[in-house]
Structure 1
């Protein structure tokens, strides 16, 4: 059984509240208020900045060249790829680079990203990647499920491009790689005390993801 599957099973209620949050459900139907999505987009840009730092930290804490390269690859993927794509996507919603740069972090953004960085500093690589996992894997789970809902990918749904991005093979492979990374870092066997610790990290990160969605709805 994959470590990821064990974590989801141990935190089932909080995981479901995250991946089935009303924010994403309304994306599938096209009924999500545009103001909610715009606020999410701005905060997600600020979120990516902190996640880039988390991957830089992963490279620093790598015990082997392979682990260091994994963190570095994640850092490059965010700084040289995902952030540019995000800025381009935001332009389609009337948000300029100046808008993104001038924005302040909302409290849920700060709470979530600093939680991840805190575990990255005081924990080991497994702690850090478990804290990252709900984001890295959860978006693939959400995208795949939403894409299966009739009409979600229709041209008339303004959120179809977002759903298409996270349901596509490229991001699904990113999630699969993250799942494999957790297994590699855990080394297979794990005592109950250690599993309980990382399950609590996974649970809190899932709760913070749900709060990130709710942040958008609260601003609508």
Structure 2
């Protein structure tokens, strides 16, 4: 069994719970309160700062140019998306420069990203990729499953752009490359290593669930 298959099997029940989370379901039917989405977008913006750093850490874990290039290419792709898509999206929602500058990361957000960085810094290239993959793959999973069930979500004036961003061919292909890289680097792993990598993947998936919670409960912050 491929490592990616082991990882998916370990979190399938968690990821399926995302599909029924009120933040996701209300985005899909267009009834999510806009202030909750604004809060989510701001938290996602600060999340991306550390998410990008995990790619940077991964680039230090190899002396091979192709491996370094893989991490750097992905790091710059996320940076490019942040400036070309994420920030303009926030501004269309009415989020101001002041809002962006003054956003305070939720404690669960900070805990998540510091965990990713810790596992990346204390592990190897594979540890970095596993920490990154939970977010990337689960978003690809969510968008694909929701769109299969309700294609009209792609047309929603406010949330359609979110679903399109992760459902589109480009994003799905980029995510598949991450999965392939994980499988390519996972030959001859000991059971102890597989168990550790699975633990990282499960923990990051639990953090993803907490991220949806913090976004939906944003009225309390």
**TM value normalised by structure 1:** 0.92
After TM superposition, give the deviation of residue 156 of structure 1 in Å.
Answer: 4.3
Deviation at 1:164, TM superposition (A): 1.1
Matched, 1:64 2:46: no
2:184 corresponds to 1:203: no
Q: Is the 8 A contact 2:58 2:124 kept in 1?
A: no
Higher mean C-alpha deviation, range 27-36 or range 209-218: 27-36
**Secondary structure, in 3 states, of the residue corresponding to 1:152?**
helix
Question: Cα–Cα, structure 1 residues 44 and 65, in superposed 2: closer, same or farther, change >3 Å?
Answer: same
Structure 2 distance, partners of 1:190, 1:18, is 30
Distance in 1, matches of 2:5 and 2:183, equals 11
Long gaps (5+) in structure 2:
none
Assess, with a 3 A threshold, how the Cα gap between structure 1 residues 183 and 99 changes in structure 2: closer, same or farther: same
* Residue segments in structure 1 that go unaligned for 5+ positions in a row: none
Task: Tell which deviates more after alignment, 104-113 or 156-165.
Answer: 156-165
SS of residue paired to 1:209: helix
Alignment of 1:159-178 (within 5 A): 159-178=159-178
1:166 & 1:212 partners in 2: Cα distance?
A: 17
Aligned equivalents of 2:136, 2:200: Cα separation in 1: 14
Residue 140 to residue 28, structure 1, CA distance change in 2 (3 Å): same
Identify the range of structure 1 (110-119 vs 53-62) with the bigger mean alpha-carbon deviation.
Answer: 53-62
Runs of 4+ in 1 over 4 A off after TM superposition: none
CA RMSD across the alignment: 1.7
* 2:50 counterpart residue number: 50
TM-score calculated relative to the size of structure 2? 0.92
Q: Structure 1 185/158 Cα, relative in aligned 2: closer, same or farther at 3 Å? A: same
Aligned length: 219
SS at match of 2:150: coil
